[in-house]
Amino acid sequence: MTKRSSSQQSKHDKGVKKSADYYDNQGYKVYADISGYPTPRYLPLKLLARFVWIAHISVSVAPYEHGDQKGHISVSRKFRGIQMRDPSHVERRGRRTLYTPDVTAALKEVWNVGDEACGELLHPQIREYVLILKRDKMWRHSVEATEKLLLMSEHTVRRRVAEFEKARGVRKGLSSTNPSALKAIIPIFKGPWKDLPPGHKQIDTVAHCGDTLLGDFVYSLSAIDAAAYWSNTRAQWNKGQEATAVSMESIRYALPSPWLSAHPDTGSEFINWQVKGWCDTEGIAMSRSEPGKKNDNMYVEERNGHVVRKYFGYRRFDCPDVVPLMNQFWKVADLYQNHFKAVRRQTEKVRIGAKYVRKYEKVARTPYQRMLDHSAVDESVKEKLKTEHAMLNPLLLKREMDRLLIVVNQQQTRHDHRLCDCNSH
């Protein structure tokens, strides 16, 4: 009888149907080979069936008897890893993480100090925030994490800050602007704004009316400098002529440089003889935007959403006792916004087809930095601002703002409860 060669024997084995015991034995061997443990005498039925299937697939590709020199089955490392992977293990691929969790924690603290600003506005301020917190011994992060944070690129900051941001519900406010006959006397000014020196301000009010304009409630009056983005806000009860003039006087008193012109919309709180007379007395030129053209007041309209609505939202504030508390908040918030919140100015707006393409400054700057860099600002004003800036700490200002926000909302909540009790009786 002629003895078959090894190749013939292999072809013959491939054609022979393997028994169930054969695959069971192979399943045990595959388990031992993949796991690294000795060949077990018993496996649970489901687990054995899994490794029997592996053995069947493996033998059809590379029979166990024809494996490597140790008799192991030809199983790739990737295949072995998939089969024996711990479900709780998180596989990490690619290069090692440079910005470890301690760097992320440092960035998040800076982000909180920066009032949760976007990455483009936060990145230029990181170094200053860290230096001030170190100066006041409020920085608790390691030297290595701090160095990595200071070396972080704007793109990385923007990407990581996006992970911090929380989705917020968007609500729209109600308009309380009405025209007046005096608007025929006050000229319309449509720009340009970018070439004006500091002192030319756009002003507007935000109604804290909730879902209805009925009744009395609080307004916030904001004034934004078109050149430096220097912002000041005051709260007032309703939008009467006298209340508006008092708010504007309070803002004028807090400004670091002279107020040259005021540019409101056509709202009745501004277009009246009392406010016009006050502006004339103080030597402030007055102009107005064109009716129906909100973009004529683009700077203050933008800050209404970024500042006023961000802090107080769309809640109704109809308690007179809230006004002085809100003004305490705004005095602290003005320091924080002007000295530590960077802003990027839009440099170009081009229409391409049906869309507008907007370009912005590459590096964001705070209103304080813009005042120092502007040649039209007097040196005495700059020295005064530097002295004020050296005494401020963004973290302490932010904490005071958070505290005052709680006080304001608690006062309004108590007022709401009193109204509910009166209505129930």
Which residues are CB-contacts of 174 (< 8 A; sequence separation ≥ 6)? 207, 209, 211, 212, 213
The pLDDT of residue 66: 43
The Cα-based distances of 85 to 34, 39, 46, 81, 158 in angstroms read 11, 19, 17, 5, 35
- Residue 405's CB is within 10 A of a number of other CB atoms, namely 16
Please state the CATH superfamily assignment of the domain spanning residues 181-423 in this structure.
Ribonuclease H-like superfamily/Ribonuclease H (3.30.420.10)
pLDDT at residue 388 in the model: 94
Residue 185: the pLDDT is 78
Q: How far apart are CA 45 and CA 55, in angstroms?
A: 15
pLDDT value of position 270:
87
Cβ neighbours for 245, distance < 8 A, ≥ 6 positions apart: 274, 275, 278
Q: Which residues contact 374 (CB under 8 A, 6 or more apart)?
A: 197, 198, 227, 228
Residue 119 backbone phi and psi in degrees, to 5: -60, -40
Q: Rounded to 5 degrees, what are φ and ψ at 82?
A: -65, -40
Q: 174: left (phi > 0), else alpha (psi -120 to 50), else beta? A: beta
- What pLDDT is recorded for position 68? 46
The whole-number pLDDT of residue 417 equals: 86
Determine contact, residues 221/251, Cβ cutoff 8 Å.
Answer: yes
Q: Among residues 371, 399, 395, which one has the least CA distance to residue 131?
A: 395
pLDDT in tens, the chain (425 residues): 444 454 444 444 444 445 555 555 655 566 556 555 555 556 665 565 665 656 555 554 444 444 444 444 455 565 556 655 666 666 666 677 788 888 888 998 898 888 888 888 888 999 999 999 989 888 888 899 899 899 889 888 988 888 887 544 445 566 555 545 566 778 888 777 878 899 999 999 999 998 888 889 999 999 999 889 999 999 999 988 899 999 999 999 999 999 999 998 888 888 888 898 899 999 999 988 887 666 778 888 888 888 999 899 999 999 999 999 999 999 999 999 999 999 888 877 788 888 888 888 888 899 999 999 999 999 999 999 999 999 999 999 999 999 999 999 999 999 888 877 666 65
Delimit the domains of the chain by residue range: 101-168, 181-423
